[in-house]
Amino acid sequence: MINSMTGYGESRGEVGGATYTVEIRAVNNRYFKTSIRLPETAAFLEGDIDKLLRKNLLRGTITYVLRLKDVPANLLFDIDEAALRVVMEKLDKVVSSAGIRCPIDIGGVLNLPGVVQPVLPDEETAEEVKRMVLSITQEAIDQLKEMRAAEGAALSADLESHCDAIKQNLERIRARAGTVLEDYQRKLKKRVDELLADAKLKLDEETLAREVAVFAERSDISEEIARLGSHLEQFAGSCRTDRQAGRRLDFISQEMLREANTIASKASDSEIARCVVDVKCRIDRIKEQVQNVE
């Protein structure tokens, strides 16, 4: 069964009193694209998280967010006292030499590069954080995949209904195609007979047969009907058996539209033309829905 590309998953866990919350959102994209946002203290996990996402998901724009809550202040940041002392001494020297009297804004000083730095966990803590974050990431991915599967089932039902409607129209086209040639021959003979009636001439049956044969060859749509029917079977088969069939379904729907256009251009019949219009509308709807399939 096919999967949708849209979905959402969330999970959380705790390490050392700090709560880690993972949120994953997925939306449509022809390719696979990730956007991973991590706190500085967990930035070392980006590569492992990206690898885990790529292992489980094939297509879509994936937005991954890891948030920290209830983190002790001493685990969030650290002040480089040596760097702060150097900055303060240089500022004091500049102020004294210039004869300027002004207080030094400690908040502004702390914003200078290198003064305040994130606290990096030690090796043991980093390994514990990694195991927990990857575990809750997998849980969030599983939730997202469940949502994708549920939406995929709805997509599959909608696509199947459009395919069934196309099949019905295709049967009407096939049935009508067998009588189009006879209608053309009858109308052509009637028209020519009317034109030649006043001249008291008789139409050469061989000439009529030749003209009908040319029309038959030019308007023959049996191959296009067969190919479109085959494409419908392939499409339905992919919907039933492939979980990640988005690109395949997109290609098949393009081929379906190509055959429908050829039928429309070759068939000189109003009833077939009406059926083809409905077929093309259904295929357009299919192409739109396929953009949501993983």
Highest mean pLDDT among 64-78, 120-134, 271-285: 271-285
CB proximity list for 201: less than 8 A, separation 6 or greater: none
11 versus 222: the higher-pLDDT residue is: 11
Amino acid 205: pLDDT: 60
Phi, psi of 13 (to 5 degrees): -155, 175
Does residue 212 surpass a pLDDT of 70? no
Strands 7-15 and 32-37: unpaired
Give the Cα separation of 246 and 32 in Å (integer): 12
Residues 74-83 have a mean pLDDT of 61
Most confident among 50-59, 86-95, 173-182 (mean pLDDT): 50-59
Give me the DSSP letters along 170-217.
Answer: HHHHHHHHHHHHHHHHHHHHHHHHHHHHTTT----HHHHHHHHHHHHH
Position 245 scores a pLDDT of 83
Does the pLDDT at position 203 exceed 70?
A: no
Q: Is the pLDDT of residue 27 over 80?
A: yes
- Count CA atoms within 13 Å of residue 40 on its CB side: 9
- The set of residues, in sequence order, having a beta carbon less than 8 Å from that of 290 and lying 6+ positions away, is 159, 246, 249, 250, 253
Distance of alpha carbon 185 from alpha carbon 182, whole angstroms: 5
Report the range out of 98-102, 133-137, 238-242 with the highest average pLDDT.
Answer: 133-137
Retrieve residue 94's tokens.
């500049």
Whether 241 and 272 have beta carbons less than 8 Å apart is answered as no
Q: Residue 256's pLDDT is what?
A: 94
Provide the pLDDT for residue 141.
96
| For the chain, domain boundaries | 81-114, 152-290
Mean residue pLDDT of the chain comes to: 80
pLDDT band for 68, please (50, 70, 90 cuts).
confident
Per-residue model confidence (pLDDT) at position 70: 66
Please tell me which residue, 294 or 99, carries the higher pLDDT value.
294
Model pLDDT, residue 26: 95
Tens digit of each residue's pLDDT (9 = 90 or more) over 215-252: 545 556 778 888 999 999 999 888 887 767 888 899 99
CA dihedral of residues 244, 247, 248, 251 (deg, nearest 10): 160
For 17: left if phi > 0, alpha if psi spans -120 to 50, otherwise beta; the answer is left
Which run of H or E residues covers position 78? strand 77-79
Percent pLDDT > 70 in the chain is 69
Q: Taking a C-beta distance cutoff of 8 angstroms, is the pair 165, 46 a contact?
A: no
